[in-house]
A and B are shown apart, each in its own frame.
Chain A
């Protein structure tokens, strides 16, 4: 498949710090046509506040639109137990609040992007908005969807389930059933891309308020792993890299199914690698180039800090 390395990307996000980092990594390489927001890392109102605050700091001009506040079925579970209420942990600077609020109509705007010939969608949270999209407009299921979510092995939210998959398993199932060929950048690949506090140095060395803000937010994020004693996986930027840095994430075709019922395994992404057993319907990550992605992210953050 030919890749258009200048084509605009649509980003669907639940706007924690790693989402912000992923968006900045994309923006360093490609235009972003719009942000659709989904509840996940935090409640939708907080997701909206984070996105609008980030837009103000970094001068983003793309539309920011509010999507689903709840998963397709069942109540929302957020990651506040890891990320705190605002999805961006840390003791330092915070995104300065703004009065702006996102406009409604995320799914309609995403549909319009695809109708107008847009193709690349990067999903960084639960797939609720994407499920609504393909239910209402199944003829748009031919999009290229790169998703940070799921796991071809162990889980993090539960023993079997990765967080974004676990928040809305029905949405993942619906997106698969609609025929979207998900490129799943999974938990295991994301954990091959880690960073430590020591790696903040170049950002800390940058002058200016934006650099200091990004460094503090990044540090808050890295301290999730035993207060910075262990390397922290970068998650969303790895999916962004899969889209904008060809070759940085290797994927193999696989059959992807979603466990929505299991007593212990609800939210588990079941990956069958053996094509002879089940026709592949997805691309699932096998490897990620940690050094390359970590470095590209640092360059993107420095670029964003300089403006």
Chain B
């Protein structure tokens, strides 16, 4: 399949400040790509440039075979969804969704068909005649989603769309989005700082850092094989340690060949407690239901270890052996 959206050496800035530096990126039709990264990494700026809301310093954006770098936002055929949906309170759900079509002077019969289809696809057909105030927050967010797909955009950009919802609704909307994307086959870019959302939704994740792509890959690749300490940290490896001359600070060599690696990382559940070549002091213990999470003070720094709750407990202050095994270690090639 040919590329649907390509960014070529895209550089974006605000005045003298470069926010995104020579970004290259391509996505396929129907793909759901997550732009993931902390605040200030350039993900929202990139999205705005794709939407046409900021002019690139340099570079090129192509959508569906057409150079859109200089095309105004309202001629790009790109939809956007934000966390704030600001529905019109005096209009029905139907009319809120119909708003853009009526502005574009779409014939009334066609408006009806398209709005009904959009409401059906977000499961709100039965609420078409209600006013927004009669709807829950999640339902209002669905209306906003229907409003953005009813204009049949080529590409849908979602900027932290779920961050205003409570945890349960977030999960519900997440599956809703995934289903909608499968059914409509619409290409989506999902901007988030929430790694769990990105992992759950995306076909591909682009991790951004300081205006550049740090790592791109499938959720599995990103989750299991982060290339840098930055990605590892971001994706939940809570034990990330630098290597100096092949050694971890204050500890023996890891006991396996680390090649040219600059660091090693373990998830808390990969740390083995009770045996091993290293020693630490239990500084904290949290019972989390299925597991107990220990915080160890070690020569290496703090180490987090997670063990099944059924295992024998370790007292705070106890000195304990632990192992950072090769199995479960991720080799990092840069900070």
Known contacts A140-B74, A280-B17, A281-B14; is-contact A179 B84 (Cβ 8 Å): no
Question: How far does the Cβ of B51 sit from chain A's closest Cβ, in whole Å?
Answer: 7
Interface bits B3-45 vs A (CB < 8 Å: 1, else 0): 0000000000011110100000000000000000000100011
B53 contacts A112, C-beta separation under 8 Å: no
B45 contacts A279, C-beta separation under 8 Å: yes
B84 contacts A173, C-beta separation under 8 Å: yes
CB of B48 within 8 A of chain A? yes
- Contact for B17 among A70, A112, A177, A279, CB less than 8 A: A279
B86 contacts A280, C-beta separation under 8 Å: no
The residues of A that contact B54 with a CB separation of less than 8 Å are 179
CB of A193 within 8 A of chain B? no
Interface bits B80-91 vs A (CB < 8 Å: 1, else 0): 111111111110
How far is B86's CA from A177's CA once the two chains are assembled, in angstroms? Answer: 12
B76 contacts A280, C-beta separation under 8 Å: no
B73 contacts A139, C-beta separation under 8 Å: yes
How far is B144's CA from A40's CA once the two chains are assembled, in angstroms? Answer: 26
Question: How far does the Cβ of A71 sit from chain B's closest Cβ, in whole Å?
Answer: 10
Interface bits B161-194 vs A (CB < 8 Å: 1, else 0): 0000000000000000000000000000000000
The residues of B that contact A112 with a CB separation of less than 8 Å are 103
How far is B144's CA from A138's CA once the two chains are assembled, in angstroms? Answer: 11
Known contacts A115-B74, A139-B52, A140-B73; is-contact A279 B19 (Cβ 8 Å): yes
A70 contacts B103, C-beta separation under 8 Å: no
Docked complex: B130-168 residues within 8 A CB-CB of A: 144, 147-148, 159
How far is B100's CA from A35's CA once the two chains are assembled, in angstroms? Answer: 21
Q: How many residues of A contact B (CB 8 A)?
A: 35
B85 contacts A135, C-beta separation under 8 Å: yes
Question: How far does the Cβ of B273 sit from chain A's closest Cβ, in whole Å?
Answer: 40
A136 contacts B99, C-beta separation under 8 Å: yes
How far is B96's CA from A165's CA once the two chains are assembled, in angstroms? Answer: 25
CB of A142 within 8 A of chain B? yes
Docked complex: A117-143 residues within 8 A CB-CB of B: 131-132, 134-142
Question: How far does the Cβ of B318 sit from chain A's closest Cβ, in whole Å?
Answer: 42
How far is B75's CA from A114's CA once the two chains are assembled, in angstroms? Answer: 12
CB of B72 within 8 A of chain A? yes
Which residue on chain A has the smallest CB distance to residue B160? A177
B86 contacts A174, C-beta separation under 8 Å: yes
CB of A305 within 8 A of chain B? no
Known contacts A108-B102, A279-B14; is-contact A170 B84 (Cβ 8 Å): yes
Docked complex: B46-90 residues within 8 A CB-CB of A: 48, 51-54, 72-74, 76, 78-90
Known contacts A70-B89, A131-B86, A177-B159; is-contact A278 B40 (Cβ 8 Å): yes
B76 contacts A135, C-beta separation under 8 Å: no
Majority DSSP secondary structure for residues of A touching B:
helix
CB of A45 within 8 A of chain B? no
A135 contacts B84, C-beta separation under 8 Å: yes
Question: How far does the Cβ of A254 sit from chain B's closest Cβ, in whole Å?
Answer: 10
B19 contacts A174, C-beta separation under 8 Å: no
Question: How far does the Cβ of B97 sit from chain A's closest Cβ, in whole Å?
Answer: 10
Best-surrounded residue of A114, A115, A136, A253 (most CB of chain B within 10 A): A136
The residues of B that contact A137 with a CB separation of less than 8 Å are 74, 99-100, 103
Question: How far does the Cβ of B78 sit from chain A's closest Cβ, in whole Å?
Answer: 7
How far is B72's CA from A142's CA once the two chains are assembled, in angstroms? Answer: 8
A139 contacts B89, C-beta separation under 8 Å: no
CB of A222 within 8 A of chain B? no
Interface bits A242-278 vs B (CB < 8 Å: 1, else 0): 0000000000010000000000000000000001101
How far is B102's CA from A137's CA once the two chains are assembled, in angstroms? Answer: 12
CB of A28 within 8 A of chain B? no
Which residue on chain B has the smallest CB distance to residue A140? B74
Best-surrounded residue of B40, B45, B103 (most CB of chain A within 10 A): B103
A174 contacts B14, C-beta separation under 8 Å: no
B53 contacts A142, C-beta separation under 8 Å: yes
A132 contacts B88, C-beta separation under 8 Å: yes
A111 contacts B103, C-beta separation under 8 Å: yes
How far is B83's CA from A142's CA once the two chains are assembled, in angstroms? Answer: 19
A72 contacts B78, C-beta separation under 8 Å: no
The residues of B that contact A281 with a CB separation of less than 8 Å are 14
The residues of B that contact A279 with a CB separation of less than 8 Å are 14, 17, 19, 40, 45
Known contacts A139-B76, A140-B73, A142-B73; is-contact A131 B84 (Cβ 8 Å): yes
How far is B90's CA from A68's CA once the two chains are assembled, in angstroms? Answer: 9
B74 contacts A139, C-beta separation under 8 Å: yes
How far is B79's CA from A137's CA once the two chains are assembled, in angstroms? Answer: 9
Known contacts A115-B103, A139-B51; is-contact A174 B74 (Cβ 8 Å): no
How far is B14's CA from A275's CA once the two chains are assembled, in angstroms? Answer: 9
CB of A32 within 8 A of chain B? no
Q: List 22 A-B contacts (CB under 8 A).
A: A69-B90, A107-B88, A115-B74, A132-B88, A135-B82, A135-B84, A136-B99, A136-B147, A137-B100, A138-B51, A138-B79, A138-B81, A139-B73, A142-B53, A170-B86, A174-B86, A179-B48, A179-B53, A179-B54, A275-B15, A279-B17, A280-B15
Q: List 12 other contacts, CB 8 Å, given A68-B89, A70-B89, A137-B100.
A: A115-B103, A138-B81, A138-B148, A141-B53, A170-B86, A171-B86, A173-B84, A174-B82, A179-B48, A179-B51, A179-B53, A279-B45
A interface with B by C-beta (< 8 Å): 68-70, 72, 107-108, 111-112, 114-115, 131-132, 134-142, 170-171, 173-174, 177-179, 253, 275-276, 278-281
6 smallest A-B Cβ distances: which pairs?
A: A135-B86, A174-B84, A138-B80, A179-B53, A139-B74, A139-B73
